[in-house]
Structures are given as structure tokens and as C-alpha cells.
Structure 1
């Protein structure tokens, strides 16, 4: 990597990886969507008058109810890269999937401990009270609902979150994909998040946060590549960790990641041929693609200022030239780095400042549309003209290549 590219990538990466650094503006929350489970519903529009009002994720846009379950997976073939005295790598994985019917038990968004650690790391206000609200965010998924689908009938999308934030930060996107008939696996990369709740009341904190120089970010990338391939092994192997594993079509697997999770998608695809298509959501490419390039479909979705051609992140232009298959370079005006996860939905109420002119619900709508269209095209072979040209429905979207 040249000195100029390295300096630009690190500068951009530092700004993007440091999710704990505030910026300006705010989003709003969206209405709840599941059938009532008997729990009191609070409107997020009354937050100013009722500080205890719960948050809610937007309604999924697909036709199916959504189920979810949590897996604790242990890779005993390698020690933990961040805490080597732990002789195995533990991972928490959430699965979202189309369900036959709601189970009546609404899935939790995250644990109270995770919420408190994330809010502290993001420098939110009133952490104890807001941790309660964030952890109780109303999701649209039913816990452990029976999955819907036929043998080898469902495509799989793996989601890798941004550095320092947990897998729950991509729940709104995951629920939407699941409602459209995808199995979605969200991975917590242990010791890379402000907080990950593990079995037995244990909590892993962000050991990797001490390693935000280039060697550390390269290590994060390589660790995630190993994590993702291991999770895929456990979901699709002869004895799948999930009872619905037989529903996954192993010929239709994709990956999307936010920030360094998106950076990791290219190298996961290079190292694991099972992944047919990938998306980078606003992440710097810390390890340059090899000269031979990446020949499978790839979508680059970025915030307008930093990720348009000539913007602050020079790694996009460099790696774009080495992508030899189907590809698109798309940016969103009015969005910033944290717009690519759930947090703009709650930013204003939590005191998180965002340099974004789009509301939280709008950012979720736009992201769902383009991510869903990409996987429909490349995992289901369904025509999606949305990916070919600008759309009047989404005037904030710009096509660069």
C-alpha cells in the first residue's frame, strides 16, 4: 500500500471506526410492526413527553413473519486472537428467517449489559436510563418461531457489524431480508464490540479497541474472515448448529458488512468460494485486493461526502479497479457512517449526534431497498432495475460507475 493511500485510508478509517466520536443532527424512530404480544405499546412520537417510551424498529417490507434465534458457537480449532489464553474462539450469532407464524414471544433487541456498554462507548447521555430503553427496543421478530421453507430452499446472507458495535446494530436490515425469504446470520465478533453477552452471565468487552492502527485493523479483517467461514461451516455442515440448517441453499450465499465488516467482505469472498456476492456498507478497504482481483458480484454503498470518487477514502477507487465481475459504486447524499446501522432511529433521544440530513426511518428504507435488490439479483436471479440507474423514488442515491 502506498504512503498516500495508507495515510488516506487510516484517516478515513479512524473517523469511521471510532463510532464513539459524535458528529451533528438526528434521526427519528419508526412504528412497531408485530402483532400484539400483550406488552404495552408506546408511541415513539411521545418521547419528549414520556422519556420511558420504548424505541421500535420499522416494519419489514416482505410478506413473511420473521423468526429469530441465538446461537453460541465455539471454534476449538483456534485460540481467541484477542485473548490468546482462551483456547477457543466463542461467537454469538443471531439468525433471522421467514417464519410459519409469529410465536407470540417478541425477540429482545439486545441485553441490558450490552446496551449500557454500547451507550457508554458511543458517549450517549443518561446511560443507565437509556440502556433500559435501548435494550427493550421493539423488534419485529418472534423468538424461536418455526421456520418457513423447503429443503435447500432459502438463500443465506451473513451480516458483519461495524467495529465496536454488536450484531444487533443491523437488526432492521436483517428483519427485512428475513421477511423476504432469506436466512440472515448476524455475527458478534467477540472482543471487537463494546459489549457482547456470553452464556453464564459473562460479558466480553472491546479488547481490540486498543489496536486501531493499520496492523490492528488488518488483524480485525483476518479475524472476521475466519469467524465468518467458521459460522458458515456450522450452519451448513453435516450437523448444523441450527435446526433449520437444512433449509439453507448452500449455492446461494452472500455477505454484507458495515464499516470494517464491509471491508472484510471482499477478503471473505476471496478466501471462501461459497460466498457468491458481497456488499461493503461504508467501510475502508484496509487490505488492498490482490492484482488478480475479485470476479464475483460486489456492491459498494457509501456516505456521499467521503465515499464518492475523489472523497476522503482513496481505498474505494483503488479496489474498484480490481473488481472484475458485476459491480456498482453507489453513494447516499445526506447520510454519514452511522447511517448504515440502526442507531439513527434512536440518535436524537439518546443524545447521539449524527452529521446526517436524512431521518432514521428514511436511511433504513433506502438501505433496505438497495441491499435487498442486490441479493435478489445475485442470489435469486430476479431482475432489479433499481441497481441500473437513478430512481425518482430515491433522489438521494447517486451512481458513480
Structure 2
């Protein structure tokens, strides 16, 4: 298997794979409006962040045939004691350069993307207390930094977030020692069975991270673990839950699912949060299939006007980067607000035992409960 460059829809800087769509190109302006800035977290805690490098020597890398171990980069976001120091970089300039090239985005200087302003302080001292863990997985070809806005917000609300970069599945992952893993899987995503194999790899990545995640940067309540992902990352959340009972709850944000749920069903809480392509009977029918096999608490919410990338940082960064892609009709700031709200509500209910009425009756006009109210 060797890479097929999936040219992404919308702001290809932050694309992923849910069912394949015809390529669309973003039209860059001569110069970015920048610098880009992510919205401030809404919770009471300052946020810290750090990067970890883990190596699974029990298995070879499935994409790099020259690697006899699977290396992972894990970015932690966590509640910090104080907000001291400058915010961490969004990504390195080299990562930005490779990402822009891989997505075939011209006219955007790499520094305009890498200088995006964040809110988490690098290596900040964690605050006291024990917090639930949320594993975060990005879409195919994307680094986990494309979910920074959501990660920072969850950390500010009292969660430790472990964002996994799955090497050789995105255009740029910085490994230990500064080595860069480029997208070796990108020429395989049209192969038969690619999605099923890819989510199995990611499920194994998640289990390894849960086995080896150190407690240095924050105290984690390991009895309260959930997983959230966008696109292939969302499909991987379901796959990880099927394989690892430690993942107590999961959210799939607009991702076609591939893992087969046992006929006996999956009884742990799950949320589908998507765009119009995931309405019942819509272009992607994988949610229809899996909905019947989710036997525990479950919700299926579609955001009117959302695009596949609305659950990432893409729409937030587009105008600042001088890009004019189509992202549906839901403005980027509103998409980020709704994503943060419904993800946090789900996690508060199932990891913190705080009932959330809006999951039964969404108060936001864009949020439609499926299967009953999707067409309204």
C-alpha cells in the first residue's frame, strides 16, 4: 500500500475522509487576512498542553514497512493551575508546509497557519484534582491539531484530553527527535477494505495509549474514559469501543462507520453528531445500520447547514488564511460553539453524571434530533 493524495473538500488544510466527495478547491486570496485565532475556551480552568512520544514495540507499523514498531504522538490538553507563559504553537512551520502541500493549497504561507493563536500554555503546571479522560482522534490526512479548539474547551471544562496523531495517516506528524512522518497511507484510501483496516489500526493505537499514558501532567480518573473523533476519527471511536471496554462512551462527528458492531449490540452511550449527509436515509447509510445495534443510551443529532469540516477548526481559520471555501451555511464561529456545546453536554452527562436536558430537547434551532426531527 502506498499513498493516494485525497484532495480535500473545503479548507483542505483541515480535511478528512467521510464518504468520498468530488474534490473542491479553495481559492486563496493574494495574502492572508491573519493572524488566525481560535475562540477562547469557555470553562473555568486555564489550559496547559504537552506532547508525548510513545512507541509500541509489540507490533510493526501498518503503513511504514520499514518500521518494526508503531510510534505515536499524543498531545495532552489539561486543566492548569495558572495561565503562565505564552500559548503553545498551533503546529510547527514544517508541519504547516507539508500539510498545505499535501492538501494542494497554494498562496498561503506556512507561517500563517503555524502562527494560529491558541490558548493552552506549553508544559503548564496541572491543577490539583482528578479528571475524566477524553481520547481525541482526527480525520484521515489531518493532524490532531485541527481539533485544538474543541480540545482546549474540554480541558477548560475539567477534562484531560489525549489527542492522538496516527503517524503516516496525515500529511505531517512530528515523531520523537523531530522526525517527520508523512502520509504513506494516502494512496491506499480507495483500496477495498481500507476503512475497516484503518479503524482497526486506530483502535489498537487507542488501547496502547490507555495502557501507557503517564500521569505526569494530570491526574486521570481511569474509570471515566470517552473517545471523540471527527470523520475517520469518529469511526475509530466506535471501533475502539467495540474492542476496548475501558472506553465508556463515544462520539462520532460526521464520520462514516466501518467497524462491525456485534449482533448482541453495543450498550455503552454513543452520540452521532453530523451534517446533512448523515440524515436517516441520506447519502451515507452507515449510521442507519449502526443505530439499530446501539442498545444503550444513544442520540443522533444533525446540525442544519453544517459541512463535513464544520466539526474541525477549518471554518474558523479559513477567512484569516485568505481562503474562500464552501462550508455549508453554518458560520464557523457558530459551528464551533455548537460542537463544543453538544460534545461537552454528552461528556458531562456520561462521565460526570450531570444530566443534560438539551440532549433530549436541543435548544438550538440548528440541532435536529434524528431519526424523528431531522427533516423539520
Fold shared per TM-score above 0.5: yes
**CA deviation profile, 1:33-72 (whole Å, cap 9, x unmatched):** xxxxxxxxxxxxxxx8984631100010101100000001
1:162–1:257 Cα contact (<8 Å) kept: yes
Q: Is the 8 A contact 2:78 2:159 kept in 1?
A: yes
**Among residues 316, 324, 328, which one is paired with 1:345 in the alignment?**
316
- 1:210-239: CA deviations, max 9, x gaps? 11133222111110000011111111xxxx
Residue 302 (str. 1) matches residue 274 (str. 2): yes
Native 8 Å contact 1:288 1:315 kept in 2: no
Deviations 1:353-395 (A, max 9, x none): 233112211110000000000000000000111100131xx21
Residue 334 (structure 1) aligned with residue 311 (structure 2): no
What's the counterpart of residue 369 of structure 2?
399
Q: Distance in 1 between matches of 2:177 and 2:116?
A: 23
Answer whether contact 1:156 1:249 (CA < 8 A) is retained: yes
> How many pairs does the alignment contain?
355
Which runs of 5 or more residues in structure 2 are unaligned? Answer: 1-14, 372-376
Deviation, 1:16, is 2.8
Shift in CA distance, 132/25, structure 1 to aligned 2, threshold 3 Å? closer
Say which SS state the counterpart of residue 305 (structure 2) adopts.
coil
Structure 1 residue 183 and structure 2 residue 149: aligned? no
User: Structure 1 stretch 279-288 or stretch 14-23: which is displaced more?
Assistant: 14-23
Unaligned runs of 5+ in 1: 1-12, 27-47
Aligned match for 2:139, one of 144, 159, 162: 162
Shift of 1:199: 2.8
Per-residue CA deviations over 1:247-273 (Å, capped at 9, x if unaligned) read 100110000010011111112111111
- 1:187-224 CA distance string (max 9 Å, x none): 10000001112233321111111111332221111100
1:194-343 alignment, distance < 5 Å: 194-212=171-189, 213-235=191-213, 240=214, 242-245=215-218, 247-304=219-276, 306-343=277-314
**Candidates 369, 392, 395, aligned match of 2:341:** 369
Question: For the residues of structure 2 that align with 1:193 and 1:18, how far apart are their CA atoms?
Answer: 16
Residues 224, 49 of structure 1: CA spacing in aligned structure 2 closer, same or farther, 3 A cutoff? closer
Q: Tell me the equivalent position of 1:80.
A: 61
Counterpart secondary structure, 2:78: strand
CA distance, structure 2, for counterparts of residue 375 and residue 292 of structure 1: 25
CA–CA distance in 1 between the matches of 2:335 and 2:21?
17
8 A contact 2:16–2:140 mirrored in 1: no
Relative to total residues, which structure has the larger helix share, 1 or 2? 1
Q: Distance in 1 between matches of 2:324 and 2:74?
A: 26
Aligned-residue offset at 1:287: 2.9
Question: CA RMSD of the aligned region, Å?
Answer: 2.2
Given the alignment of the two structures, is residue 356 of structure 1 paired with residue 322 of structure 2, yes or no? no
Instruction: Give the structure-1-normalised TM-score.
Output: 0.84
Structure 1 residue 352: Cα displacement: 5.4
| Mapped contact 1:113–1:197 kept (Cα < 8 A) | no
Per-residue CA deviation, residues 11-43 of structure 1 (Å, 9 max, x unaligned), is xx99636699326899xxxxxxxxxxxxxxxxx
**Residue aligning to 1:90:** 71
Matched, 1:145 2:124: yes
Secondary structure, in 3 states, of the residue corresponding to 2:127?
coil
Report the CA distance between 1:113 and its aligned residue. Answer: 1.4
What's the secondary structure of 2:49's corresponding residue?
Answer: strand
Once the two structures are overlaid, the 10-residue window that deviates more, 295-304 or 264-273, is 264-273
Indicate the residue corresponding to 1:34 in structure 2: none
Residues 91-110 of structure 1 aligned to structure 2 (within 5 Å) = 91-110=72-91
d(CA) in 1 for partners of 2:350, 2:56: 30
